[in-house]
Amino acid sequence: MIVQHLMQKKAMLLIPGLLVVGALLIVPIVWLFALSFVSEGRLSLEHYQRMFDDPTYVKSFAVTFQIAGTVTGLTILLGYPLCFWMLRLKPFWRGIALTCILIPFWTSLLVRSYAWLILLQRRGLVNNWLQSLGLTEEPLALMYNVTGTVIGMTHILLPFLVLPLFASMQRIDGDLMRAAAALGATPVFAFWRIFFPLSLPGLTAGGLLVFVLSIGYYVTPQLLGGGTTVMAGQLIQRNVELFSSWGAASAVSLVLLAIVLLLFWVMNRLVPLDHVFRG
């Protein structure tokens, strides 16, 4: 009876938090859902039909997931070796390395995007260096396209992969690698059979975080894409600001949300997410 009474008290303490979540999350989603089915004051599927009839919408969604997948892959390729290297540093230098990774969080996203705008332009530092080294004869098109967008987003989102992955690596018992070496395993064999599988929860959590953040990105694609790289966030903004069509913007938002939830469901079938985030 005492345990049951304590459980009821704990449940009562959850009510304020649930009300706040409902007010800030569920109510707006329900409102967007209702708007997506209203056109000129009547119920209609016009906004959803337009997404299938207008190739602009299909192209925008394809570009969105292409960029999100590319950015996620690049952050994994860059972040995993970086975390593995930091794990072998002494505590002092490890703290310095983590500080350097956290520094971008102290700088405005807009400022970081403008910095890449300066670096990647035709007469920017990157093109000047490439030409001075004789690697290119003419400036490369690194801006106002998918390339510039991917470079800027990879730099900005890399810490979101590094932090959960490094935390996961730190929890791996170093004695396991030493035991494998004592039993005759080569460093490469021990890494792939022991260390890498144990680091997968952090890698999956970081990869999912980067992918979800990439899908909804707006500022960096707007600046570095130059209007030619239209992601879903920009499509929503155009529907609202240029066409004053909240219904169309709501439909795009809900389709995007449904696709993300479907991807999470598929991922959960392959790798249970409760194990990922608990690990």
Total domain count, the chain = 1
Other beta carbons within 10 angstroms of residue 214's beta carbon come to 27
Residue 23 in any domain: the answer is no
What range does the domain containing 164 cover?
57-278
Bridge partners (DSSP) of residue 39 are: 42
Strand duo 42-43 + 38-39: pairing? antiparallel
Residue 40 in any domain: the answer is no
Residue 170 in any domain: the answer is yes
From first to last of its 279 residues, what are the pLDDT tens digits of the chain?
Answer: 555 555 666 667 777 777 887 778 888 888 888 888 887 777 888 888 888 888 888 888 889 999 999 999 999 999 999 999 998 888 888 888 888 888 877 788 888 888 888 888 888 888 888 888 888 888 888 888 888 899 999 999 999 999 889 988 988 888 888 888 888 888 888 889 888 988 888 898 889 889 988 988 888 888 888 777 788 888 888 888 777 788 888 888 888 888 888 887 877 776 665 555 555
Q: Give the CA angle between residues 63, 139, 67 to the nearest 5°.
A: 15
pTM of the complete model:
0.84
d(CA 269, CA 54): 33
Residue 3 in any domain: the answer is no
Which CATH number is 113's domain given? 1.10.3720.10
